[in-house]
Amino acid sequence: MEDCEINDTVTSVDEERADVHVDKHPMVLHSSTPLDIVCTKQLPREEVLKAIEEVVQRLLDDLSKGLCPTLVCNARHRWDNVRFEENVGIQMLAESSVCEVRFNSRTSIIKLAQHMRIFQMIYHLVQTDSFSTKRDIYYNDPKLFGKQAVVDHVIDNISCMLQVPRSCLHVTCTSKGCVAGDLRYIENNGAHVDCNSSANGVLISTQVEGIQYMSSKAQFVLVVEKDATFQKLLDDGFCVKMHPCILITGKGVPDVNTRLLLHKISNAFPIPIFALVDADPHGIEIMTIYKYGSLSMSFDASNLTVPTLHWLGLLPSDIERLDITKGVRLPMTPRDRSKVQELIKRPYIKAQPLWRKELERLEACGEKAEIQSLTSLSSSFLAQVYLPNKLHFGGWI
């Protein structure tokens, strides 16, 4: 059993018309969830309320008996607590080491108060069928919480502890991701959204679970790491000149809402999904979050991952293949090399031998490149040459 206390920091990882057809569709995989893996699920409000009551009652019972009140949940940041399933991603094991939050000192009284306050607010939200953002919860009592990161950490721990998606707690987070292209849907407040309606894309809803009646004639989805590249593609008319498609960006490391929407799109439409990220360890890691999930949210993998996603580019092998100008390449730093080695050791890389080769090539050449480096070849090279050729000839892995 692992003892730990609430952390005041957020764990960061660890963002001319072409006649194109996509004739290489990824296989849609289905299987039942193994019994020894945590599976978060949507629960009726009454069950969520009951689960909260039971946890709080145990804390009160400990206090009434003069015992040290303790909260226990699965440790969310340990690789030995997860199992890799190729058709789902990295999932937290039900039988895994746990993290104890002990309130056994004067300083920990504040942490107990923080937990009790958040339990109280969540209980009220669920009971009244209302919603609040993590930011709003923080500003309900900023003096008590001290930092937004404390609220974020406690809420994610509660979600893991109760084994329910955060939406069941009626807590949302402010969206930063955008979506554009051939996609229409109705939000849970009844608003009709057409993702073609804005020149800069549509901000992703804070309540993705409530989105209904999605419709699209898109032939593929392109997940773009950076907002700058996303906007450049829109400015170049990529969604108009190409066959109908959907563009989505999490603007760097994706937030939960962006991942939820991509997962929802992948379930709704049997079309290929591709990732366009920088040819560097950071971009590759972001892609793995979309495809296989993050360690800290592995307890909710079944709602957040898109295992059918393909790596379209920028591939490390593209750097030499396209003879990208030396002046726009960047040297690999010691931190980059360390991240490459860390990625190679992750369980999902064993299932992706071509990805491993690209990671090894990146390390061997000692240089990395951003998507924007393609502009050194031509300002329109990405939208008019690179992407159409990749999609047409199947240049993804």
- Annotated catalytic residues are 139
Long-range contacts of 4-8 (CB under 8 A, 24+ apart): 4/75, 4/99, 4/100, 4/101, 5/101, 5/102, 5/108, 5/111, 6/101, 6/111, 6/114, 6/150, 6/153, 6/154, 6/157, 7/149, 7/153, 8/146, 8/147, 8/149, 8/150, 8/153
Please enumerate in sequence order all residues whose Cβ is within 8 A of that of 333, keeping only pairs 6 or more positions apart, or say none.
Answer: none
Burial of 8 (0-12, 13-18, 19+ CB in 10 A): exposed
The rounded distance, in Å, linking the Cα atoms of 362 and 369 is 10
